[in-house]
Amino acid sequence: MLDYIKGEIVELNPASVVLETGGLGYFIHISLNTYSALTASKGVKLYVYEIMREDAHLLFGFVDKKERNLFLLLISVSGVGANTARMVLSSLSAYELESIIATGNANALKTIKGIGGKTAERIIVDLKDKIKFSGDATQGGQTPVFGAVSGEAISALVMLGFNQAASQKVVGKIAKENPQFTVEEVIKNALKML
């Protein structure tokens, strides 16, 4: 099995990337979080997971091992396939997903396309004991990749004239303490703190 592919980006789309290495171009399915991390890169190293079926040979790529591990945990849940797991990882950062599972917030999972009530509950029940949630949004000195709700809130605050770095810090704190908040709730709380 492949562990990672290191090469140059030939083509980059929000759902896929083509990496060239050794004269071969690998078509790799990616999440939006990985896409965001790759936009400023030319040469990259993607951790991969390959799925071999009768009708297809698929590669899924991740910017770090943590995202790949969460993907593997998600596809281990009955009823969650590779594309659904990728959708979850596109909608939430690794930190947000761990937080939602640790707090048992099925409602936050149900907002993701393709995740119904039963699947959300199954994900939480199956993975609650398997994830190691540290509660630390910045691991290894990296800033967290923001999920859809946090990203929209930050964009709205910047459009209102607030500094981007300050907005990210405040929204990150609010999202950490209240991962179930809607965009409106995050913005209202952020306005009180800025």
pLDDT over threshold 60, residue 137: no
pTM score: 0.69
* 8 A C-beta contact, residue 182 and residue 149: yes
Instruction: Domain 148-193: state its class.
Output: mainly alpha
Give the pLDDT confidence of 157-191 residue by residue, as tens digits: 777 777 777 888 888 888 888 888 888 888 888 88
In this prediction, what percent of the chain has a pLDDT beyond 90? 44
Using CA atoms, how far apart are residues 127 and 149, in angstroms rounded to an integer?
Answer: 23
**CB count, 10 Å around CB of 189?**
19
Asked if 17 and 30 count as a contact pair (C-beta separation under 8 A), the reply is yes
CATH label, 4-62, candidates 2.40.50.140, 3.90.1300.10, 3.40.50.150, 3.30.470.20: 2.40.50.140
Cα–Cα nearest to 3, from 44, 50, 37: 50
- Percent of the chain surpassing pLDDT 70: 92
User: Per-residue pLDDT tens for 29-57?
Assistant: 999 889 888 988 888 999 999 999 999 99
Query: What is the structure's pLDDT at 2?
Result: 87
Q: Is the pLDDT of residue 142 over 70?
A: no
At a CB cut-off of 8 Å and minimum separation 6, what does 19 contact? 5, 7, 8, 9, 10, 25, 26, 28, 44, 46, 61
Q: Do domains 65-127 and 148-193 have the same CATH topology?
A: no
What are the boundaries of each domain within the chain? 4-62, 65-127, 148-193
For position 108, what pLDDT does the model report?
86
Tokens of 99: 């937080």
